[in-house]
Structure 1
Amino acid sequence: MANPTADEIRALADSNGELALRVVPGAKVERAAIENGNLKLWTRTAPEDGKATKSVLAQLAGLLGIAARDIELVSGATSREKRVRIKQV
């Protein structure tokens, strides 16, 4: 299964550039998919001390072709359900 394109991901963002994410830490393979209208990201990084969140933000930035500094975590720092704001929508 191919990862969603940057345009498909951006289409999920609301008018403020906010996007809901579901994170699966400790996965065997890093990948992304759109499920039930939300972006789901699998990361190999374990959920320790915010490392998985940082990894997911970097992964999302790579999928969008932007710098990680252009993505801001809005909520869900310690949750699998996260909300991020993409500064360049």
Structure 2
Amino acid sequence: MARPKLSNLPDLSDLARPGQQLTVRVTPKAASTRLSRSGDDLRAAVTVAPENGKANAAVRVLLARAMGVAMSDLTLVRGQTSRIKVFAYSGPGTSRS
């Protein structure tokens, strides 16, 4: 998976509050990796296929980079096999793995 350029990602640092839950609509197998924000709506497109958790991991990386946090601080709470996913931010040093 190609790493997204930071300049192409929206600034989601305001969402980096412990306990914050992020609902994201995901499009796997897209032509390019991107993340967009419209108000409270987050949409992610990743180039990887939704098999063996690869698309979920790609979205987690994308969110972490846009939020400016460690990937280990984001946990997939709901939507393992759904297009609508809910990630929780646990805060620095309080990973719930």
Q: Shared fold (TM-score greater than 0.5)? A: yes
Q: Cα RMSD over matched residues? A: 2.1
* 3-state DSSP of counterpart to 1:61: helix
Aligned residues: 85
* One-letter identity of the residue aligned with 1:41: A
Pairing partner for 1:46 from 20, 40, 49: 49
Name the structure 2 match of 1:27: 30
Q: Write out aligned runs for 1:8-87 (5 A).
A: 10=15, 16-35=19-38, 37-87=40-90
Q: Structure 1-normalised TM-score?
A: 0.82
Indicate the percent of aligned positions where both proteins have the same amino acid. 33
CA contact (8 A) 2:61 2:71 kept: yes
Matched residue, 1:5: 11
Where structure 1 has 5 or more consecutive residues not aligned to the other structure, the ranges are none
Runs of 4+ in structure 1 off by over 3 angstroms are: none
CA offset at residue 35 of structure 1? Answer: 3.7
